[in-house]
Amino acid sequence: MSIKLNDKLVIGISSRALFDLDESHQIFEKEGLEAYLRYQVSHETDILQPGVAFSLVKKLLNLKNPNSGENLVEVILLSRNSADTGLRIFNSITEHQLGITRAAFSNGRSPYRYVSAFKTQLFLSAHSEDVQQALHANCAAATLLPSPAKTSSNHELKIAFDGDAVLFSDEAERIFQEKGLDAFKKAEVESAKKPLQDGPFKGFLSALHQIQQMFTPENCPIRTALVTARDAPAHERVINTLRAWNIRIDEALFLGGLSKGDFLKAFEADIFFDDQDGHCHSANEHVATGHVPHGVKN
């Protein structure tokens, strides 16, 4: 009987998002593929240090079904490495005691082709082209901004999302970009009772919500937040949209254009997803950040 992953949240992660591969990537950029291959094979017993998404992945892998004790999340390595160079990656996975057993090594080509085959619900990569292709394949995906690995002493998994063009479509953002703030607010007030259309991360938020439903509120290991530049009166449509989706969001920050970085630091986000470069760079000073190349701003 074949094994299926239908009962799990499936996350795809690139090797450069999981581990610090800056040194070997510089060799690839400066000296080419053959030098990179020789370097990785000669260093395959040298354990890689954590990368920007390492702490996030560790928390995801620690999520257990409260009734059965089974893992709720499957993390799959989707890598441009070859099987030869990937051996160092798996040696590091074993040494760090990460429960990652499945992988696709595409040997220089984009691994996004395997996103659908693995039923992946989120793909995180340092390679922007792979992320764009995964989004086109209807998988939530983000390009992780370079930053030192960040660790958290908090055992809760905290994930924060921007609203427009991330959780929601960019329909409202288009009005803002084309006609300005006053037109945007007028349109949102007039459409306050009309739910926004789905954005690329709606399915991922829904999957997190389903896991949250397995726990009592006081014992839930996941906490989510909406961190948006919207303010009143444009907040009402967002609230009504989440109600229509029947999705719980734990915290909602309507910042009215304030910089998001300090608020994400206060929330202690393990990762934040936004479609706009400016917000991403503000956030990345404090928390791991994924740029979502979707919507009118991209």
**181 in Cβ contact with 234 (< 8 Å):** no
Distance from C-alpha of 238 to C-alpha of 240, rounded to nearest angstrom? 5
For residues 192 and 222, membership in a common domain is answered with: yes
For residues 20 and 122, membership in a common domain is answered with: yes
**Position 2 confidence tier, pLDDT thresholds 50, 70, 90:** low
Instruction: For residue 128, count CB atoms less than 10 angstroms from its CB and return exposed for 0-12, middle for 13-18, buried for 19 or more.
Output: middle
Tell how strand 157-161 and strand 9-13 pair up: unpaired
**What is the model's pLDDT at position 14?**
95
Q: DSSP letter for 41, please.
A: H
Instruction: Classify residue 89: in a domain, yes or no.
Output: yes
Instruction: Classify residue 94: in a domain, yes or no.
Output: yes
Active site residue 162: yes
Mean pLDDT of 132-143: 95
Instruction: Classify residue 71: in a domain, yes or no.
Output: yes
220-272 pLDDT, tens digit each: 999 999 999 999 999 999 999 999 999 989 999 999 989 999 999 999 999 99
Contacts of 253 (CB under 8 A, 6+ apart): 225, 226, 227, 228, 263, 267
For residues 162 and 138, membership in a common domain is answered with: no
Residue 188's nearest CA partner among 230, 130, 157 is: 230
Instruction: Classify residue 3: in a domain, yes or no.
Output: no
Distance from C-alpha of 286 to C-alpha of 281, rounded to nearest angstrom? 9
For residues 92 and 177, membership in a common domain is answered with: no
Residue 22 has pLDDT above 80, yes or no: yes
**What is the model's pLDDT at position 118?**
94
Instruction: Classify residue 112: in a domain, yes or no.
Output: yes
Residue 154 has pLDDT above 80, yes or no: no
* Options 7, 22, 46, 162, the catalytic residue: 162
Distance from C-alpha of 274 to C-alpha of 242, rounded to nearest angstrom? 18
∠ at Cα 99 (265, 118), nearest 5°? Answer: 90
Distance from C-alpha of 272 to C-alpha of 160, rounded to nearest angstrom? 5
For residues 199 and 270, membership in a common domain is answered with: yes
**What is the model's pLDDT at position 3?**
64
Instruction: Classify residue 42: in a domain, yes or no.
Output: yes
Question: 0.85 exceeded by the pTM?
Answer: yes
For residues 102 and 213, membership in a common domain is answered with: no
Percent of the chain past pLDDT 90, that is, above it, reads 74
Print the domain residue range for 41.
9-144
Question: How high is the mean pLDDT of the chain?
Answer: 92
Distances (CA, A) of 186 to 172, 175, 179, 190: 11, 10, 11, 6
Distance from C-alpha of 33 to C-alpha of 201, rounded to nearest angstrom? 34
Instruction: Classify residue 22: in a domain, yes or no.
Output: yes
Task: Give the CA radius of gyration of the chain.
Answer: 20
For residues 168 and 232, membership in a common domain is answered with: yes
80-115 pLDDT, tens digit each: 888 888 899 999 999 999 999 999 999 888 898 999
Residue 1 has pLDDT above 60, yes or no: no
Q: Which CATH number do you get for residue 264?
A: 3.40.50.1000
Higher pLDDT, 21 or 159: 159
Residue 275 has pLDDT above 50, yes or no: yes
SS (H, E, C) 248-278: CCCEEEECCCCCCHHHHHHHCCCEEEECCHH
29-58 pLDDT, tens digit each: 888 778 888 888 888 899 999 999 999 999
Distance from C-alpha of 111 to C-alpha of 121, rounded to nearest angstrom? 15
